[in-house]
């Protein structure tokens, strides 16, 4: 285990500890100068309007994307778990979005939703309305949401499918003997049995959505625009560290983000009680 532990220590544990140390200092990453300022980095963060913009955008993103991608992935997995036969070509096509890099996917969606893109022109032809998505502060984040849902559903669908196939058939047979309908079987047998899988999917979805960076960076060219409408926590951390040259505030914000992710996932675990299923 020594090589793996050494790699984890060098590339994960030591950077985390060093970041925890830096968040109490004003750090100039170019000169390497450090000045102890205590909790002043947190005060500056909470007083910065861009923090609250990134907080609002990220929470909205998580609240919209995670439930939809989880629900659709479960529905598709349940459909694939039926006795209906699907060709390998169909299943392969469904999984292509997950195999595509997020950068390439972002460029494709930028082409679809730009002011002269395919989707914009289609809406104009059908409804006579010229919508601007990427340059509209109210809709720019929605493009990233749709893209993330589209690209993550196939992966979570496979995870759910593996969980569904592990449920003992005897449980469904017992439910049938008790006169349970298909909906009742799904509610009282399927949902409780896949609670650990659901917790995993929700956790991965929450962590991934809170850490979203590359799509927002590419779509806004690193600015988080228009009008900070695509500014996320991770993008704001990047701006603080490499645009404002303030690694102290960047690490402080990373600590805030990590705390939020921990509290949300802990709450999800308590609500689902995934660790109490089957004993």
Examine the pLDDT at 212 and tell me if it is beyond 50. yes
- What's the pLDDT at 279? 43
- What's the pLDDT at 2? 93
Query: What is the C-alpha to C-alpha distance for residues 230 and 129, in angstroms, rounded to an integer?
Result: 24
Mean pLDDT of the chain: 88
Query: What is the C-alpha to C-alpha distance for residues 189 and 184, in angstroms, rounded to an integer?
Result: 8
Q: With 0-12 CB in 10 A as exposed, 13-18 as middle and 19+ as buried, what is 196?
A: middle
Query: What is the C-alpha to C-alpha distance for residues 231 and 229, in angstroms, rounded to an integer?
Result: 6
Measuring CA to CA, how many Å separate 20 from each of 39, 40, 78? 12, 14, 44
Kindly report the CATH class assigned to 37-166+195-273: mainly alpha
Given the structure tokens 């000169």, which residue do they identify?
Answer: 31
Query: What is the C-alpha to C-alpha distance for residues 227 and 136, in angstroms, rounded to an integer?
Result: 9
Query: What is the C-alpha to C-alpha distance for residues 73 and 152, in angstroms, rounded to an integer?
Result: 9
Instruction: Report residue 70 CA to chain centroid gap.
Output: 11
Instruction: Report residue 271 CA to chain centroid gap.
Output: 20
Given the structure tokens 């609670």, which residue do they identify?
Answer: 195
Output helix, strand, coil percentages for the chain, rounded to the nearest 5. 75, 0, 25
Helices 118-127 & 102-113 angle (0-180, nearest 10): 30
pLDDT category of residue 120 using cuts at 50, 70 and 90: confident
Which DSSP category does 276 fall into? G
Q: What is the pLDDT of residues 39-96, one digit of tens each?
A: 999 999 999 999 999 999 999 999 999 999 999 999 888 888 876 676 677 777 778 8
């Amino acid at each position: 285990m020594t090589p793996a532990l050494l790699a984890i220590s060098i590339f994960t544990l030591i950077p985390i500890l060093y970041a925890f140390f830096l968040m109490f200092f004003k750090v100039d990453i170019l000169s390497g100068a450090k000045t102890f300022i205590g909790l002043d980095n947190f005060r500056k963060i909470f007083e910065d309007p861009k923090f609250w913009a990134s907080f609002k955008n990220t929470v909205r993103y998580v609240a919209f994307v995670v439930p939809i991608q989880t629900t659709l992935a479960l529905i598709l997995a349940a459909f694939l778990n039926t006795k209906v036969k699907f060709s390998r070509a169909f299943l392969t096509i469904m999984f292509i979005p997950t195999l595509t890099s997020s950068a390439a996917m972002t460029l494709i969606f930028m082409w679809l939703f730009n002011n002269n893109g395919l989707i914009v022109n289609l809406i104009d032809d059908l409804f006579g309305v010229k919508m601007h998505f990427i340059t509209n502060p109210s809709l720019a984040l929605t493009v990233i949401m749709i893209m993330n849902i589209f690209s993550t559903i196939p992966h979570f669908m496979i995870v759910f499918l593996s969980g569904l196939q592990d449920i003992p058939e005897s449980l469904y047979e017992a439910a049938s003997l008790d006169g349970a309908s298909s909906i009742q079987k799904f509610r009282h047998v399927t949902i409780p049995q896949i609670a650990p899988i659901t917790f995993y999917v929700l956790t991965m979805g929450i962590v991934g959505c809170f850490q979203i960076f590359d799509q927002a960076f590419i779509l806004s060219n690193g600015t988080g625009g228009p009008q900070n409408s695509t500014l996320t926590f991770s993008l704001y951390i990047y701006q603080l560290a490499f645009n404002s040259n303030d690694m102290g505030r960047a690490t402080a914000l990373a600590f805030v983000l990590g705390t939020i992710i921990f509290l949300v996932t802990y709450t999800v675990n308590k609500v689902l009680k995934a660790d109490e299923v089957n004993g």
